[in-house]
Chains A and B, each alone.
Chain A
Amino acid sequence: MLRQQVRDFLNAERAAGTILGRPDSWLTGWDPGFTRRLAERGWVGMALPREYGGSGRGNLERYVVIEELLAAGAPVSAHWVADRQAGPSILRHGTEEQRRRFLPRIAAGQCFFSIGMSEQHSGSDLASVRTRAERTGNGWRLTGTKMWTGGAHVNDYAIVLARTDESADRHAGLSQFIVDLRDPRIRVEPIRLLSGEHTFNYVHLEAVELADDALLGHAGDGWQQVTGELALERSGPERFLSTLPLLIALVAELRRGACSPEQHARVGRLTARLASIRQLSLSVAAALEAGRPADVQAALVKDLGTRFEGELINEAREILPVAARFDATRGSYPELLATAILHSPGYTLRGGTNEILRGIITRGLEASR
């Protein structure tokens, strides 16, 4: 059974001392070696067909693998975007040449992607991007600055959203490009988190010359393509499991001593909510697998799930009060608590702020009536 195979693999990794059990491991756990060991087992690019190097097992089996990895707090951030978004997006919108060029390397855990959507003035209002792509004789010239580009300093490529037609309406004039992050006209500048960690960057695109084959999909279709990706980005198990390692550590602490009825009740309440959100997330995965639109459902999971990630921290503090310490033993409850707290402002921001997503939810429900 797939789930058990993944757990056996994770147990072996744990025994080997790979860093596991981390909160927010899909954002900060960058370990290409771990990614390659996963890929050897066919667990990267699972939603990609076999002819492109994937395992062709589909989104629901992929879901099992990634939720096991997240629950274990495994270091998966190297391939995260390639596996979740770039791969499926290239499969769907890319040319045959692009598919053959990128997908087998993604599935082998040897080609890592960043998302180049956000900018300083374009967060939730993605259609306001100012990065421009101008037509040249045999391609495009890309100019602008992307922001919040996770992993741009270590990854290979970014899929960049840029304006290709100034005259078209704000949704119609956008296009996506596959950009080589090693290009000398790209300058990556770190943006450090509260914890001091370096995952995010500015990406300055200074008249980057792109060949024609850098365009992903059709010019002007960027908005539709991005919207499709966002359902993948918002509904996955990473939207409610970022702080699960903290809950697991908390339960391990409670197992050691006497546990009061109040502590039982609070753990039970968290567990019930976790399990219920997981069911909703699974139903979105099933809808996407069946090709049904799930934008509204995905927004709903993202809001519920990311709020839960934060609520879990406050509950943990009440169930088992300790001072959060970033300098405590790595993997100990006070250290995990500190990491989860310092990352917590991000949960309800990344992937579209929750306040804006709630507008999508109510509009979607009214439209369906």
Chain B
Amino acid sequence: MSTQSVFERAATVLAGPSAPDTPRAVWDALRTAGALPPLDADPADLVALVGEAGYHGTPAPLAETLLVARPLLAAAGLAAPHGPLAVAAGPLDVVFAHPDTGNRVGPPGAGGTDDAVRVSGVLSRVPWARAADAVVVLTEGPSCGPVLLLLEAGEFLRVEGTNLAGEPRDDLVLIDAAVPAERVRRIPAALAREAQWRSGLARAALIAGAARRCVDLTVARTGSRVQFGRPLSHFQAVKQEEARLIEEAALVDAAVGAAAAALPTPDTCELPAWIAAAQASASVAEITRIAHQLHGAIGFTELSRLHLATTRLWSWRDEDGTEQAWCRRIGRQVVEGDPLWPQVTGG
């Protein structure tokens, strides 16, 4: 076991019929196996691990914690709690706890000599909020400019909801909650942008994993299901569709791989991450269409495991930004920025 990498150990924990089935169990199992990635883990390994979570539909916020919350907290100079973390962004009302004293938000704490900010508003459909030890929130601060807040459970009311796959997507209601200064940081605008593309990349990595699951389930299905005396995979019409499914999943994987390779230098990762997010979301329609078509009727019942992947894909493609939103950003940068080809080749 000692020769295995953290990634390999983690992949083993997430696989199989006895894989942990609650967020807490996932964390405990990873910790017990020595498979919880350290804060300084290779970013490409983290992306690969999130892909595994996507493949297995792992019920825990691994993508949010590893690829978004922890790097943001580190960049903002805050210590990351050990457990699962959620991430939310949104307009909130943020005011100083003691506005009369004339204090200004300033580093390192948000409040200067002030001891807290007071926060009100609703963060909607926050992934895994009910399972998280803390929620990383990006919003506008009281004296303009973005701030990062670390909320702890108990500082908000929670209205539980789910996405199409039954994954937790809770609304968090903050009513004049006091967040102490040591959990508030002003952040540069670039980090606020990084929060967005990190979320997009995290979701794309999950999509790449679930797309791979669709391919595996479909190839197994068409290879074993016999109709008219031969396996489905022997029919030309089936081959044509199946190849397109394989290709579309490979395309997402390539886009995510390129962004993962760029992650160690976040300054040049923005466009590759946008592209991964856009391509992942854009490919979902084709991947889910073909996988269901080739599964036949059984695929859209609970008798098949396919729905575990496809319902997630349908949800994930619209969370953290739709393909339309990602494509608009890319297109604007291509039309208004440097010429297209140097952007595609990265310089």
Contact indicator per residue, chain B 60-95, by CB within 8 Å of chain A (1) or not (0): 000000000000000000000000000000000000
In the complex with contacts A271-B330, A276-B252, A247-B340 CB distance below 8 A? yes
Contact partners of A365 in chain B: CB under 8 A = 215, 219, 246
Query: Considering the chains assembled together, what is the distance between the CA atoms of A276 and B327 in angstroms?
Result: 13
The minimal Cβ–Cβ distance linking A75 to chain B, given in whole angstroms, is 18
A3 to B345, Cβ gap below 8 A? Answer: yes
The minimal Cβ–Cβ distance linking A351 to chain B, given in whole angstroms, is 15
A264 to B331, Cβ gap below 8 A? Answer: yes
The answer to the question of B282 belonging to the interface, with a C-beta cut-off of 8 Å to chain A, is yes
Contact of A269 among B236, B272, B278 (CB under 8 A): B278
What DSSP secondary structure best describes chain B's contact surface? helix
B324 to A265, Cβ gap below 8 A? Answer: yes
What DSSP secondary structure best describes chain A's contact surface? helix
B327 to A358, Cβ gap below 8 A? Answer: no
The minimal Cβ–Cβ distance linking A239 to chain B, given in whole angstroms, is 13
Contact indicator per residue, chain B 313-347, by CB within 8 Å of chain A (1) or not (0): 00000000001101111111011100111011101
The answer to the question of A106 belonging to the interface, with a C-beta cut-off of 8 Å to chain B, is no
| Max count, chain A CB within 10 A of own CB: residue among B239, B339, B343 | B239
In the complex with contacts A265-B328, A272-B279, A276-B275, A259-B246 CB distance below 8 A? no
Q: Total A-B pairs in contact (CB under 8 Å)?
A: 138
In the complex with contacts A265-B328, A268-B334, A279-B257, A304-B251 CB distance below 8 A? yes
The minimal Cβ–Cβ distance linking A296 to chain B, given in whole angstroms, is 9
Contact of A248 among B220, B252, B279, B341 (CB under 8 A): B341
Contact partners of B247 in chain A: CB under 8 A = 300, 303-304, 361
A358 to B340, Cβ gap below 8 A? Answer: no
The answer to the question of A261 belonging to the interface, with a C-beta cut-off of 8 Å to chain B, is yes
Contact partners of B215 in chain A: CB under 8 A = 365
The answer to the question of A105 belonging to the interface, with a C-beta cut-off of 8 Å to chain B, is no
A255 to B335, Cβ gap below 8 A? Answer: yes
Contact partners of B52 in chain A: CB under 8 A = none
B255 to A269, Cβ gap below 8 A? Answer: no
Residue of A with least CB distance to B255: A276
Query: Considering the chains assembled together, what is the distance between the CA atoms of A266 and B278 in angstroms?
Result: 11
Contact of A366 among B219, B272, B343, B347 (CB under 8 A): B219
B243 to A362, Cβ gap below 8 A? Answer: yes
Query: Considering the chains assembled together, what is the distance between the CA atoms of A273 and B327 in angstroms?
Result: 10
Query: Considering the chains assembled together, what is the distance between the CA atoms of A71 and B344 in angstroms?
Result: 11
Contact of A265 among B219, B233, B331 (CB under 8 A): B331
The answer to the question of B226 belonging to the interface, with a C-beta cut-off of 8 Å to chain A, is no
23 contacts between A and B (CB under 8 A): A3-B345, A3-B347, A255-B335, A263-B335, A265-B331, A267-B334, A268-B326, A268-B334, A271-B344, A272-B278, A273-B282, A275-B255, A275-B275, A275-B279, A276-B252, A277-B251, A278-B345, A300-B247, A303-B244, A303-B247, A358-B240, A359-B236, A362-B219
Chain A positions within 8 Å of B, measured between CB atoms, are 3, 67, 71, 244, 247-248, 251, 254-255, 259, 261, 263-269, 271-280, 283, 300, 303-304, 355, 357-359, 361-362, 365-366, 369
